[in-house]
Amino acid sequence: MSVNSYNLFQTAQSQFDKAADLLELNSATREFLRNPMREFHFTIPIHMDNGEMKVFRAFRIQHNDARGPVEGGVRFHPMETVDTVRASAMWMTWKTAVVGVPLGGGNGGVICDPHNLSDFEQEQICRGWVRQLVKNIGPNSDISAPDIMTNSQHMLWMLDEYETILGARYPGAFTGKPIEMGGSQGRIQATGYGIMIAVREALKELNIKINGTTASFQGFGKVSYYAIELYQKMGGKVICVSTWDNNENRSFSFRKKDGINLEDLREITNIYGGINKDKAEDIGYEVLSGDAWLEQEVDILVPAAIENQITDNNTDKINKCVKIIAEGANGPTSSKADAILNKSSIFIIPDFLANAGGVICSYFEQVQNNMNYYWDKDEVLAKLDVKMATAYADVSDFSRENKLGMRDSAYVIAVDKVAQACHSRGWV
């Protein structure tokens, strides 16, 4: 399913509207929160390696900064749309609020396909991104982080451009940096580990021992890889992962019923998280359709690729054994699918709670940058565990006490905090 085949922002707004109704927000607060505070739409012209000039379109959306500077990913994707970025920025506002870090919500994207760009061309895009935004971003206003098809190198190029223009060091302006350049230990693991901390807590509530459970994943990128790593360490077995094949322009699922081997698969995966189909077959994986990951007889499904993947067209394919869906990606479940799943016995850990580990650790990275003193990996991961488990418990307790689903509960908690911050500041 392509990234822009439906409007993600409308989904995000309708989820917000439901929370606003539950909270009985006044009309000005609704109007204020259901739209971004600021939007930047711009172009980045670069010299391609073949001497041509090419112009890339880009967006940075600052949804809300009432609780602190906005923080959010920068995505490189050929199908990027402003509405996808708006939705992701809005979800980041709720994410930072639900886990209680003093940040707001933002997101950005460049319409480009890194598969077809050299490193030098990507560096030019990163530097061009900063040149266009320099007056409107920074450690106290808008902080960027890696997202789809961006990584620590992109963050470092952006930081270098930012610091070169301003003539001083501002390491907290970009997070997800390489560790030796002001990055945090544990940042690369944080989103994936955070998902599995939430799954661990959910399994406890459902009285299921994690040891012996099985899972199937969509995506084998930065998020999935580390989620699988922690899940396997905790005793779970992953039998299927699905990834995008850029040569064939479609996705495939890779299944091994006795459990995938993380390192073997990593060796045949490109830097964008695409598994080589022929090599996978050679090392004993069944190669199945892109949707097959969803149909597996497993306890846990983790959509951790892109948005709008579980829809009213495929919810009936979800196996009856599935007990938990932990949303690793932003917006993987459409509103219609969500309504169907809410009537089933499947327990959903909603995206902006499940995948909050990344922003929690971005916040830790900033704290370390400000102190210029760095924690070791165990310390970072222990702090991550406490924050994720606490946020999970808050949402789960609220859900039980108010007889609301996990998504609605997370929304009510988050929107209430942000609305209160806006009221306290006297904005609405």
DSSP 8-class letter at 276: P
Measured in whole angstroms, the distance separating CA 215 from the mean position of its chain's CA atoms is 19
Instruction: Give the contacts of 100 (CB within 8 A, at least 6 positions apart).
Output: 387, 390, 391, 417
The stretch among 52-60, 109-117, 238-246, 419-427 that binds ligand NAD (CB under 6 A) is 238-246
The size of the interface with ligand NAD (CB under 6 A), counted in residues, is 28
Among 12, 33, 238, 306, contact with ligand NAD (rule: CB under 6 A)? 306
Q: At 393, list the tokens.
A: 């418990």
Residues in the chain: 428
Residues 108-127 that bind ligand NAD (CB under 6 A): none
Give the integer Cα–Cα distance in Å for 346 and 326: 10
CB nearer to ligand NAD: give 64 or 88: 88
Among 13, 64, 251, 366, contact with ligand NAD (rule: CB under 6 A)? 251
The three-state secondary structure class of 309 is coil
CB nearer to ligand NAD: give 172 or 358: 358
Strand 104-111 versus strand 53-64 pairing type:
antiparallel
CB nearer to ligand NAD: give 20 or 380: 380
> Does 292 sit near ligand NAD (CB under 6 A)?
no
Phi/psi of residue 185, nearest 5 degrees: -55, 145
Residues 123-152 that bind ligand NAD (CB under 6 A): 146-149
Q: Are 330 and 91 in contact (CB under 8 A)?
A: yes
Residue 262 burial class via C-beta count within 10 angstroms: exposed 0-12, middle 13-18, buried 19 and up? middle
Contact code string over 205-234 relative to ligand NAD, x by CB under 6 A: -------------xxxxxx-----------
Residue 378 burial class via C-beta count within 10 angstroms: exposed 0-12, middle 13-18, buried 19 and up? exposed
The stretch among 11-19, 96-104, 133-141, 301-309 that binds ligand NAD (CB under 6 A) is 301-309
> Does 328 sit near ligand NAD (CB under 6 A)?
yes
Among 330, 333, 334, 369, contact with ligand NAD (rule: CB under 6 A)? 330
Give min distance, CB of 192 to ligand NAD, in A.
8
The stretch among 5-13, 118-126, 304-312, 396-404 that binds ligand NAD (CB under 6 A) is 304-312
Of all residues in this chain, which one has the CB nearest to ligand NAD in the complex? 221
CB nearer to ligand NAD: give 328 or 419: 328
Residue with tokens 């900064």: 65
> Does 272 sit near ligand NAD (CB under 6 A)?
yes
CB nearer to ligand NAD: give 241 or 422: 241
Among 216, 243, 311, 333, contact with ligand NAD (rule: CB under 6 A)? 243
R_g of the chain, CA atoms, integer Å? 20
CB nearer to ligand NAD: give 333 or 368: 333
Q: At 299, list the tokens.
A: 């306890």
Q: At 384, list the tokens.
A: 């991550």
Of the candidates 66, 71, 42, which has an alpha carbon nearest to the alpha carbon of residue 142? 71
300-303 sheet: strands from edge to edge: 286-289, 250-255, 237-245, 214-218, 300-303, 324-326, 347-349
Contact code string over 331-370 relative to ligand NAD, x by CB under 6 A: ------------------------x--x------------
- Residues binding ligand NAD (CB under 6 A): 1, 146-149, 191, 218-223, 242-244, 251, 272-274, 290, 304-306, 328-330, 355, 358
